[in-house]
């Protein structure tokens, strides 16, 4: 069999100069098996920036010709049986997302350390015993997932100040015996999961990680039994305070030069944190000029709650929500600016919805309580934005047809709008959805939300929803960024109220001065997310959300 035989999907992608290609499932696996591997004609698609080949147990290797795909930004090769990967991966200089999870890899190619643009590395569920030294050269790394391997230690350079964007390190269910005190050098670290390993100690220096919000050390037999009890209760704040106190106690015992040296190191770290705070983005500086008030969620039956069903765990497990009041969408182009900002967040911070997805709803049109669950594509019905009611199967088919038609009409190499997110659900047996009290689907992430709850210029309260398959902290980070952007837009609208009132796009006469004066203040109300038994899963915003010391005038009302 000619391994250069062109498959129909590849021929179509080549003819239409596509930039995305997804191959997955039993049909593709049968062809891989009969051809003795993945057809090499796929490597002729040199325009690709997104390639996914997944759920193919017959795929055991990737040919070195993959080096030809130099424009790739996302390479997803999960749930196959890859035993190795060629070192020529170093030539994929544009690669930002690499997912080799659920394979049979025993080693990773050294070439990974040459990927200077890489921000997401997922190699979970393999048979790796170590990570390649040199990952500190990947200075844009934000997320590393190496869970469910056989790793016994991290390479020394993983604890590097060069990795100042690394926010999530997940290494659960390995055989890691030691966590270095140099972990404090990871100044952006927010999530650290080392559950199910062989740690006996947790370094006190961990408490010096300035942004750490979520840690998990469950399943480690620690020498400090008091600490082990706290760890099993997942009390992040208490654990860090305990480690901080323990570290001070140890300094006192050691005394002398050792104590002086430690104090110098601590002062240096404090200076570094102050410098980093001084260099925070302009968005935070803008928010410093504003007031965002956070209200504790009411225990009244009318308060919005979201129940999360267990089945979402295998599809899109993470969700945070909140209610925002005071957002001025009525003046001039304010609604349009907000929607444009949301789209930009989707493209940038949300990684084109691969990392997370945002949905917004008009609170007055919601009928709570809400339920986050999964449905088969044939049973999920939604009135998506600007369309009539149809099943998810029908909607996806319509979107695929529209995407093909757009490519032909405009001779585009790729597509825009909802069409560019279709591959995110391809091959899934169940789709995630948010359902109201009457059983109506109001959100179908990562594709669309409902016309029935669509926000308008007249919307006074917004229900914000962020879902992700990455982590809970990812949802919180995206929600933080969204609210900061909303505060910035509200301030802009207030400062340009005269222009907004006279541009011909407002509804009726300009608003009275009294209402404009308060229009820049946002009130964020907590929403509780509970499991199907009613146990609290997460509340947003919590006391650690939107309350960074970098934001001096953030007012929290509990």
Quick: pLDDT tens for 263-279. 555 555 555 555 544 44
- In percent, how much of the chain has pLDDT > 70? 78
Euclidean distance between CA atoms 127 and 149, whole angstroms: 5
Euclidean distance between CA atoms 494 and 334, whole angstroms: 10
The domain spans of the chain are: 1-105, 128-248, 283-360+468-493+520-558
Mean pLDDT rounded to a whole number for the chain: 80
Q: What are the backbone dihedrals phi and psi of residue 143, each rounded to the nearest 5 degrees, phi first?
A: -135, 130
Euclidean distance between CA atoms 210 and 188, whole angstroms: 7
Q: Which helix (H) or strand (E) holds 491?
A: helix 472-495
* DSSP code per residue over 35-67: HTSS-GGGGG-TT-SEEEEESBTT-----GGGG
Q: What three-state secondary structure class fits 529? A: strand
Structure-token pair, residue 100? 């080799």
What's the length of the chain? 558
The dihedral over CA atoms of 159, 161, 166, 169, expressed in degrees to the nearest 10, equals 10
Class level of CATH domain 1-105: alpha beta
Structure-token pair, residue 399? 């979107």
Q: Does residue 107 contact residue 131 with C-beta atoms inside 8 Å?
A: no
Structure-token pair, residue 104? 């049979």
Cross-strand partners of 376 = none
The yes-or-no verdict on residue 288 having pLDDT over 70 is no
Q: How far is CA 435 from the centre of its chain?
A: 22
What HEC string does 80-105 produce?
ECCCCCCHHHHHCCCCCEEECCCCCC
Q: What three-state secondary structure class fits 134? A: coil
Euclidean distance between CA atoms 478 and 22, whole angstroms: 26
Q: Does residue 216 contact residue 236 with C-beta atoms inside 8 Å?
A: no
* Confidence at residue 296, expressed as pLDDT on a 0 to 100 scale: 47
Q: Does residue 187 contact residue 209 with C-beta atoms inside 8 Å?
A: yes
- In percent, how much of the chain has pLDDT > 90? 37
Q: When comparing pLDDT for 481 and 349, which is higher?
A: 481
- The CA radius of gyration of the chain, in Å to the nearest whole number, is 25
pLDDT digits (tens, 9 = 90+) for 7-38: 888 988 888 888 888 888 788 899 999 888 89
pLDDT digits (tens, 9 = 90+) for 143-197: 999 999 999 999 999 999 999 999 999 999 999 999 999 999 999 998 899 999 9
Please list, in sequence order, all residues whose beta carbon lies within 8 angstroms of the beta carbon of residue 427, skipping any fewer than 6 positions away.
22, 24, 25, 54, 55
pTM: 0.56
Segments in 166-289 forming alpha helices (H): 225-232, 236-254, 256-278, 282-288
pLDDT digits (tens, 9 = 90+) for 191-229: 899 999 999 999 999 999 988 888 889 899 999 888 888
CATH topology of domain 128-248: 3.80.10
Euclidean distance between CA atoms 305 and 299, whole angstroms: 10
The yes-or-no verdict on residue 438 having pLDDT over 50 is yes
């Amino acid at each position: 069999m000619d391994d250069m035989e062109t498959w129909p999907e590849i021929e179509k992608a080549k003819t239409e100069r596509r930039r995305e290609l997804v191959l997955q499932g039993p049909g593709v696996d049968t062809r891989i098996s009969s051809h003795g591997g993945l057809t090499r004609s796929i490597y002729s698609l040199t325009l690709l920036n997104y390639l996914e080949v997944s759920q193919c147990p017959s795929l055991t290797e990737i040919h070195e010709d993959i080096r030809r795909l130099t424009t790739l930004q996302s390479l997803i090769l999960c749930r196959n049986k890859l035993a190795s990967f060629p070192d020529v991966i170093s030539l994929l200089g544009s690669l930002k997302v690499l997912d080799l999870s659920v394979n049979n890899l025993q080693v990773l190619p050294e070439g990974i350390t040459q990927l200077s643009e890489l921000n997401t590395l997922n190699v979970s569920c393999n048979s790796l015993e170590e990570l390649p030294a040199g990952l500190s050269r990947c200075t844009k790394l934000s997320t590393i997932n190496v869970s469910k391997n056989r790793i016994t230690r991290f390479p020394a350079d993983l604890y590097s100040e060069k990795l100042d964007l690394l926010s999530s390190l997940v290494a659960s269910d390995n055989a890691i015996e030691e966590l270095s005190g140099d972990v404090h050098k990871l100044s952006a670290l927010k999530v650290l999961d080392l559950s199910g390993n062989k740690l006996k100690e947790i370094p006190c220096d961990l408490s010096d990680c300035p942004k750490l919000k979520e840690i998990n050390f469950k399943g480690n037999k620690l020498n400090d039994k008091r600490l082990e009890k706290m760890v099993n209760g997942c009390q992040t704040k208490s654990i860090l305070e305990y480690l901080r106190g323990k570290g001070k106690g140890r300094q006192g015992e050691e005394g002398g030069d050792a104590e002086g040296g430690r104090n110098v190191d601590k002062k240096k770290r404090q200076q570094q944190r102050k410098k980093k705070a001084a260099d925070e983005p302009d968005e935070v500086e803008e928010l410093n000029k504003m007031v965002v008030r956070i209200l504790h969620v009411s225990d009244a039956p009318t308060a919005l709650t979201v129940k999360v069903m267990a089945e979402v765990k295998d599809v899109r497990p993470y969700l945070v929500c909140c209610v925002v009041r005071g957002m001025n969408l009525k003046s001039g182009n304010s609604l349009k600016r907000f929607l444009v900002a949301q789209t930009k967040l989707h493209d940038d911070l949300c990684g084109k919805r691969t990392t997370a997805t945002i949905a917004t709803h008009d609170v007055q049109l919601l009928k709570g309580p809400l339920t986050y669950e999964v449905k088969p594509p044939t049973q999920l019905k939604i009135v998506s934005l600007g369309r009539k009611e149809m099943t998810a199967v029908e909607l996806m088919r319509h979107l695929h047809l529209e995407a093909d038609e757009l490519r032909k009409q405009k001779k585009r190499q790729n597509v825009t709008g909802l069409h560019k997110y279709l591959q995110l659900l391809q091959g899934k047996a169940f789709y995630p959805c948010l359902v109201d009290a009457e059983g109506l689907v109001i959100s179908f992430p990562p594709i669309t939300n409902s016309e029935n709850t669509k926000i308008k210029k007249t919307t006074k309260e917004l229900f914000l929803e962020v879902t992700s398959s990455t982590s809970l902290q990812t949802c919180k980070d995206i929600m933080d960024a969204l609210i900061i952007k909303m505060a910035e837009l509200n301030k802009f609208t207030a400062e340009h109220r005269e222009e907004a009132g006279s541009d011909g796009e407002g509804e009726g006469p300009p608003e009275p001065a009294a209402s404009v004066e308060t229009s820049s203040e946002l009130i964020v109300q907590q929403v509780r997310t509970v499991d199907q038994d009613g146990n609290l899963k997460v509340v947003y915003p919590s006391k650690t959300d939107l309350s960074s010391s970098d934001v001096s005038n953030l007012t929290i009302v509990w």
